[in-house]
Amino acid sequence: MAEVRCPLCGRINPDDLDYCQFCDARLKQLLAPSPDDLHRIQPGQGPIKRQTAEFEKVKPGGNVPIHAGEEPTKKDTGDLERALPSWLKGLRGGVDQPAGEQGAPSTGAAAPAASEPDAESLDWLAGLESVAADDEDPEVADWMAGLRPPTASAPTPDIQSAPEQDWLSHPDVEEPPAAQTEPEKEAQTSDPDWLERLSSTQPSARLPGTSPFKAAGGQLSEPPEETTPVVEPVPDWLAALKPEAAEPAAAPDGGGDDLPDWLSTLPSIPVSTTPEEAAAAEPDWLSNLKGLPAASEYAPGEAEGLGSDWPASTGNETSAAASVFTEPIPAAAPSGEVPDWLSKLQSDVSEASRQEMAPEEFETAREPFPADKPAEVIPDWLSSVEAGDASAASTPALVLPEDSGGSSGSGQAAFSLETPDWLSKLRPEKPVEAPSSTSEEPQEAGLEAADLPSWVQAMRPVESVIVDAQPTSFEEIGAAEATGPLAGMRGVLPASTGMAPIRKPPAYAIKLQMTSNQQRYAAQLERMIVEEGQPREVKPVRQFSNQLWRILISLILIAAVLLPLMTGMQLAPDMVLYPSEWEATSQLLDSFRPEAPILIVFDYDPALSGELQAAAAPVIDHILYRNSRLALLSTSPTGPALAEQFLVSTQKYHLDTGLLYTNLGYLAGGPAGIRLFASDPHAAVTLDVDGSPAWGSAALQGVGQLSDFAALILLTDDADTGRLWIEQTRAALGTTPLLMIISAQAEPMIRPYFDAGQIQGLVTGLAGGKAYEQTYAAPGLARRYWDSFGLGTLAALIIISIGGAMGALASWRARRKV
Amino acid sequence: MSLAFSWDLLTGLLSFLLTLMVLSYLIGDNPAFRVAIYLFIGVSAGYAAAIAWNQVLKPRLFMPLLQGGWTDFLLLVPLMLGLLMFTKLSPRAARLGSPSLALIVGVGAAVAIGGAVLGTLFPQTLAVVNQFDLPPASEGWSKWLGVLGEALLMLVGTVSTLVYFHFSTKATPGGPQRGKLIQAIAWVGQIFVAVTFGVLFAGVFTAAMTALIERMDFLVTFLSQLLGFG
């Protein structure tokens, strides 16, 4: 018959069942597997895109996931209870059911804990028992399986035959070296001072009649059969771990199989025979620990499980140390000889034990444990846990500072702060028989302290943690809450009605008190606000608009210009002071040989043709009187037309008398074209403006390069254009003079080149033309324009002066008003 | 001389109207002024295109390609570069015209920079130094002092103007400030800069005044001839 393993609990079920007979989980799928499910992705294959819409449909109940900030909705999960795995049920059952009903191994130590109905302590570990009991649960993790108690059939390891299990018992069981002599014992006794003092304090804590050395040594070295089982409260989970100690005599050697590898590899140590030898062989610090009073309190049979259960042995030593530390440790203890962690542990345990392990309290704490409990040697912290469990029902909600070790100083407080919650939960608490200060707190009806969950008790404020924050008087902090969640907190709730003094509230004057300045400022502000709301009369101001000013100035200038033109009056005299460049330029013009080819470049805009024609006309006229041949060129598209128009309008006489000139037209390329023309004129220009071969004309006979021209005359209104010609043709010209006839607006930028000698002649604007016309030519355009220019310049000067004066006056008035 | 109905009268009348339309800008922007401006721009562009075709493209590129020899086929390179410039009209194909533009800008910049260094920077620097080439004292102290004063003035003007455009400062508690010496020299340079701007304005004004005179003279002459007063 086929078997089916439950997918939930993992147990084997018959094939014919639809539900697991153990956990009622469905064993068979409701839906047949889809073809896509059959196609598993094999290694090397790509993922297959699957339709997930069906999964969205079968989403249970269409539950919307809870988002942040939303309150979770309470659901009835009763149906899901059956689906819980067994181990999870066991965990829950550990809370609900007594430990004895969970199938956990009934050990002597676990019995009392299981018999207690309110086993609130370590309830989360209670499930481990059920887990350990369920051997067939395959879902239990290995580490949890390791925590399972050995079954009855499992051989119990022999503690005596397996000394490696208890590494702390090695000093007791190993063979004392034969060479151990008295000096070594003396060295053994040469312990640190604090340990010696600790040893000296043992009589106060140990039972009478037992010497420290004997007690410790006897406890550790005597056979377990002689020890009396110590009745110590052991948690459930620990009880489940202690079957090994339950049968120490029958423990075989094979019990070492449970040991970790590193521990099992340790060599076996011979068993010591006598206590003295064992004490001589053990280390110093351990020999001092043996003399702890707690060890002396144990009966000889208490050490029965010492050699088999290392936790128990550790707890034994810890318990002994705790008993030793009941005496205050001197502050001058040589801490340098003790590790920090050990000294801290000493101080912490000492402070805790000093409050808790008083002789009477110690006896009281031991009373709840029956004497017939199995022999268990548990650590002190575990015993404190049991003590806490035993007194859990009566754990006071309020622990006053003096009760909770407030007098013990900050050591315990620091210990509480540094330990996690669960560890602080395990901290030894006050036994039931607390001092009267605690018992005097009223245990009023209502929420009992024992009813609080363990985690809430762990979170409750304990005043001993913050010692420095204690108020000085009870009246200052108010009453402390004794019960409920606020237990232990002072001054949280107000005092009872009628406690606080009642007095009449002070009477405040309604009248606003103001100083005189404040009243004055307020009145001024009010007056300003009122004035802002009142309409203000605006005096009409007659102002000339900018357009009117522009028209007026334009009319003045036009009138000044038109007056000489229309009347023909000569208002401006001839030029008396010639420009500085006139002398050099006139000498240059006189140096031209007759019929020499001269290159004239027309690089100006039509807008300024009037100025340049007036400036260049007398100069060109002067040249043409020497029968010079002209070559006209321009780097502006409008240049060739302007050149023709210049000759027609100003040199009509020479044209009529057979002027030889060639219009080379437009020179493209800008600076590069100028550069090319300077280096190879024939390559730059091949045809004239009429399309005829340029260099074959009569005007350019004998001209092969730029330096073959007698002079280069540049007419331009742009300083940049003039600069380009200067820069690009300077090397190619050689000794050929460069003469510039420029507009007045380009003079500031071109004159430095004339001053530097890079250009040899310069004629600037109407003034320069007038100077040459006045010297070499008949009256022409320059003379015609000169009167208008003079009168217009005078008018402009007057307007500028008046405008400047008005501006200065307005500025002065503005500053004066301000 | 009276104007008969001729080509000169027509062109003269057209010039007269266009001049008045441009001068109408005195009363503000108006359609007459705009028509004149648009006409001027259009005619200038058309004339420039005609000049470029008649004086550059046709005689220097297409005619040699059509009628020239094998060596003129190298002109295909500038032709292709020129055609690629049309791709700048389309944003998607504008990258194709980049080589042509790069060639133009690169060659132009190289020529301009070389010319500026060799034709302006070095000669002008040398000219400033040569200003201190004083004439011998035998020619008279007045000339010697005049040349020296002119050289000093030029030197001070040059240095102070350059310092004026020196904007490096140093951190001070009151904020970044130039040194006091630099400030004093810059103040002198500011004067030279102001004088230079004044000279430039005077030159522009003179040129504009001359242009106005030329236009007024044209109007007066045309009207006088048109009306028979000339």
- Give the tens place of pLDDT for each residue, A224-240: 444 444 444 555 665 55
Helix (H, G, I), strand (E, B) or coil at A698: helix
| Nearest alpha carbon to residue A298 among A380, A360, A231, A368 | A231
Residue A818 confidence (pLDDT): 79
Interchain CB contacts (distance < 8 Å): A and B: 154
Q: What is the ipTM of this complex?
A: 0.88
Residue A578 confidence (pLDDT): 87
Q: Which two tokens stand for residue A264?
A: 């099992």
Rg of chain B in Å (alpha carbons):
29
pLDDT grade for A343, boundaries at 50, 70 and 90: low
Q: Which two tokens stand for residue A207?
A: 């039972």
Which of B48, B120, B220 is facing A723, going by the closest CB pair?
B120
Residue A308 reports pLDDT greater than 50:
no
pLDDT grade for A559, boundaries at 50, 70 and 90: very high
d(CA A404, CA B213): 114
Closest-CA distance, A734 to chain B, in angstroms, reads 13
Residue A124 confidence (pLDDT): 52
What are the Cα distances from residue A433, in Å, to A358, A427, B42? 12, 17, 116
Beta bridge partners of B170: B177
d(CA A251, CA A154): 10
A69 or A551: whose pLDDT is higher? Answer: A551
Count Cβ atoms below 10 Å from residue A260 Cβ, excluding itself.
7
pLDDT tens track for A580-615? 888 888 888 888 888 899 999 999 998 899 999 999
**C-beta atoms of B206 and A691 within 8 A:** no
pLDDT grade for A415, boundaries at 50, 70 and 90: very low
* Beta-carbon contacts of residue A151 (< 8 Å; ≥ 6 apart): A135
Q: Which two tokens stand for residue A479?
A: 């009453």
Which backbone phi and psi does A675 adopt, to 5 degrees? Answer: -65, -40
Which backbone phi and psi does B129 adopt, to 5 degrees? Answer: -70, -40
| Nearest alpha carbon to residue A401 among A381, A416, A422 | A416
Kindly report the average pLDDT of chain A as a whole number.
Answer: 66
Residues of A in contact with B30 (CB under 8 A): none
Which residues, given as ranges, of chain B have pLDDT below 50? Answer: 1
8-state DSSP, B121: I
Closest-CA distance, B202 to chain A, in angstroms, reads 7
Contact at 8 Å (CB) between A749 and A723?
A: yes
pLDDT grade for A249, boundaries at 50, 70 and 90: very low
CA atoms within 13 A on the CB side of A663: 18
Residue A360 reports pLDDT greater than 60:
no
Mean predicted confidence (pLDDT) in A247-263: 46
**Where would I find the H helices in B29-121?**
31-52, 63-67, 76-84, 98-116
Residues of B in contact with A668 (CB under 8 A): 52, 55-56
Residue B226 confidence (pLDDT): 85
Residues of A in contact with B112 (CB under 8 A): 671, 724
Closest-CA distance, A566 to chain B, in angstroms, reads 7
Helix (H, G, I), strand (E, B) or coil at B223: helix
**C-beta atoms of A671 and B59 within 8 A:** no
Q: How far is CA A232 from the centre of its chain?
A: 53
Mean predicted confidence (pLDDT) in A631-647: 93
pLDDT tens track for B23-35? 999 888 899 999 9
In chain A, how long is the greatest CA-to-CA distance? Answer: 159
CA atoms within 13 A on the CB side of A465: 15
**Where would I find the H helices in A253-309?**
261-264, 275-281, 284-290, 293-297
Q: How far is CA B228 from the centre of its chain?
A: 40
Across A428-437, A539-548, A640-649, the highest mean pLDDT is recorded for: A640-649
Which backbone phi and psi does A751 adopt, to 5 degrees? Answer: -60, -35
In chain B, residues 175-204 whose CB comes closer than 8 Å to chain A = 196, 199-200, 202-204
Indicate the residue type of A334. P
Closest-CA distance, B44 to chain A, in angstroms, reads 8
Residue A798 reports pLDDT greater than 60:
yes
In a mutational test of the A interface, the residue from B206, B222, B223 whose CB has the highest number of chain A CBs within 10 Å is B206
Closest-CA distance, B107 to chain A, in angstroms, reads 7
Across A329-343, A544-558, B45-59, the highest mean pLDDT is recorded for: B45-59
Mean predicted confidence (pLDDT) in A439-450: 48
What are the Cα distances from residue B95, in Å, to B82, B102, B105? 14, 11, 15
d(CA A184, CA A400): 49
pLDDT tens track for A528-548? 999 888 887 777 766 667 788
**C-beta atoms of B55 and A687 within 8 A:** yes
pTM of the model: 0.51
Closest-CA distance, B172 to chain A, in angstroms, reads 32
In B, minimum Cα distance to A743 occurs at B207
In a mutational test of the B interface, the residue from A649, A727, A781 whose CB has the highest number of chain B CBs within 10 Å is A727
**C-beta atoms of B127 and A675 within 8 A:** no
Contact at 8 Å (CB) between B147 and B135?
A: yes
Which of A565, A611, A672 is facing B111, going by the closest CB pair?
A672
A660 or A83: whose pLDDT is higher? Answer: A660
d(CA A571, CA B128): 41
**C-beta atoms of A672 and B120 within 8 A:** no
In A, minimum Cα distance to B199 occurs at A748
* b/e per residue A664-702 (b: at least 16 CB within 10 A): bbbbbbbbbbbbbbbeebeebbebbbeeeebbebebbee
pLDDT tens track for A21-44? 888 887 776 555 555 455 555 556
pLDDT grade for A478, boundaries at 50, 70 and 90: low
Residue A799 reports pLDDT greater than 50:
yes
* b/e per residue B12-49 (b: at least 16 CB within 10 A): beeebebbebbbbbbeeeeebbeebeeeeeeeeeeeee
pLDDT tens track for A685-737? 988 888 888 888 888 988 999 999 999 999 999 999 999 999 999 889 989 99
Residue A193 reports pLDDT greater than 60:
no
Count Cβ atoms below 10 Å from residue B164 Cβ, excluding itself.
19
Residue A788 reports pLDDT greater than 80:
yes
Which of A640, A671, A691 is facing B112, going by the closest CB pair?
A671
Residue A370 reports pLDDT greater than 80:
no
Helix (H, G, I), strand (E, B) or coil at A712: strand
Interface contact B48, partner A, CB < 8 A:
yes
Residues of B in contact with A727 (CB under 8 A): 115-116, 118-120
d(CA A790, CA A564): 10
**C-beta atoms of A547 and B215 within 8 A:** no
Count Cβ atoms below 10 Å from residue A140 Cβ, excluding itself.
22
A72 or A361: whose pLDDT is higher? Answer: A72
Mean predicted confidence (pLDDT) in A425-440: 48
Closest-CA distance, B181 to chain A, in angstroms, reads 28
In B, minimum Cα distance to A561 occurs at B213
Mean predicted confidence (pLDDT) in A632-641: 92
pLDDT grade for A326, boundaries at 50, 70 and 90: very low
